Amino acid sequence: MRIIKLEEKTKKNILEDLLKRSPNSYGEFESRVTDIVNNVKAKGDEALFEYTEKFDGVKICADCIKVTEEEVKEAYEEVSEELLGIIRKALKNIESYHAKQRQQSWFDATPIGTILGQKVTPLEKVGVYVPGGKAVYPSSVLMNIMPAKVAGVDRIIMTTPPGKDGKVCATTLVAATEAGATEVYKVGGAQAVAALAYGTESIPKVDKIVGPGNIYVALAKKAVYGHVSIDSIAGPSEILVIADETANPRFVAADLLSQAEHDEMASAILITTSQELAEKVSEEADKFTAELSRKEIIQKSLDNYGYILVADTMEEAIAAANDIASEHLEIQTKDPYNVMTKIRNAGAIFIGEYSSEPLGDYFAGPNHVLPTNGTAKFFSPLSVDDFIKKSSIISYSKEALEPIHQDIIKFAEAEQLTAHANSIKVRFED
């Protein structure tokens, strides 16, 4: 891995490089995605079936687009008891963590007859998109469905591309069933997002769409936003490690590569105050890369977006980390909790040398759907909050309104909204 002195110009150049990976930078795909979305909106199932045959090489129809109970049963027979047990353990941790995020409705009343409050209501229907293709991510299935389940969503509708055999990957299907998906449909890509957003003869329209996907999926979510809600437009994976001379170089290198293997656009950055550690991590990263199964992807990721930055002080390292606002941030320093208190911008923070990033991906419980491309400056991880909506509650008696009604009238008249003023006046006519 390349080792660079951390300077203001260096940081600026890296930030510019990282932002190039954003889905917002892929305008040439937008017209294709728009055509797909509009076609599905207009033609429904007909367009959905055509695109599935064109892009996935699978013929589907109204009778076979939805996963059946028999297919779920077959999936359970294919998944080992060991893996099923691990999925259930992870699911328990994820459910327990998200249960603490639940919000309750609240109401405040006064003796003079006012009631103010907030009513919390789960969304009625949510769509969960799950990628297919070369990789299978049952962990993402759990992370996207469980918070919706905890929130109390009535229908959790999952879509995922079918394999060449016309079936959904067994592990994905088992994970969806365990997490609480209401129904699963065999369709992927931008066409699946459009179907969830507008509804077709087979797939119901939802209120919100969550879940990761390729550039077509990301741009389709962007295109339908406003008609439905979405979680975010996710970019490639990122990890940033802050480390000092006390860090274990093998641990740091291994953790950097855990994200670099996702794809060639993934970013892996170490910021350290130790030149010696920088050199050792670079050596270890080279050794690991040569041995790992996805070494070609890892190498391209490191060549494109991998950096080891050497800072003069820990304060400089922390400032740079806050500017980059990484999806995953590991702190491997002598006093990691002190460093953690100074971090403003990160999707998930991993503290200490035994809190490696995959712990969060699979098992610990916090959600692994995290803000990318610097959006951790203003976005949060996927949570129960993403699957609820809030309504304000206002109730006043005549006795409560009377002392303030002239104030409201004057405020409305100051804005020249006489109908507003009149709706208060009429309640106090002789």
For the annotated catalytic residues, the residue numbers are 327-328
Angle between helix axes 30-43 and 189-198 (nearest 10 degrees) is 50
Using a 10 angstrom Cβ sphere, with 0-12 exposed, 13-18 middle and 19 or more buried, the burial of residue 57 is exposed
User: How far apart (Å, rounded) are the C-alpha atoms in residues 138 and 58?
Assistant: 22
- 120: alpha, beta or left, given left = phi > 0 and alpha = psi -120 to 50? beta
Q: Which two tokens stand for residue 276?
A: 């010696």
Q: Which two tokens stand for residue 224?
A: 């339908």
Of residues 321, 285, 287, 325, the one with CA closest to residue 302: 285
Q: Which two tokens stand for residue 167?
A: 């079936």
Q: Is the C-alpha dihedral spanning 379, 380, 386, 388 positive or negative? A: negative
User: How far apart (Å, rounded) are the C-alpha atoms in residues 285 and 206?
Assistant: 44
CB 241 within 8 A of CB 256: yes
Helices (H), 231-356: 249-260, 275-291, 295-305, 314-324, 336-340
CB 103 within 8 A of CB 384: yes
Residue 238 CB neighbour total at 10 angstroms: 29
User: How far apart (Å, rounded) are the C-alpha atoms in residues 414 and 411?
Assistant: 5
CB 243 within 8 A of CB 270: yes
What is the separation, in whole angstroms, between the first and last Cα of the chain?
A: 83
Enumerate the β-bridge partners of residue 86: none
Of residues 100, 107, 181, 104, the one with CA closest to residue 140: 181
- At a CB cut-off of 8 Å and minimum separation 6, what does 45 contact? 62, 65, 200, 201, 202
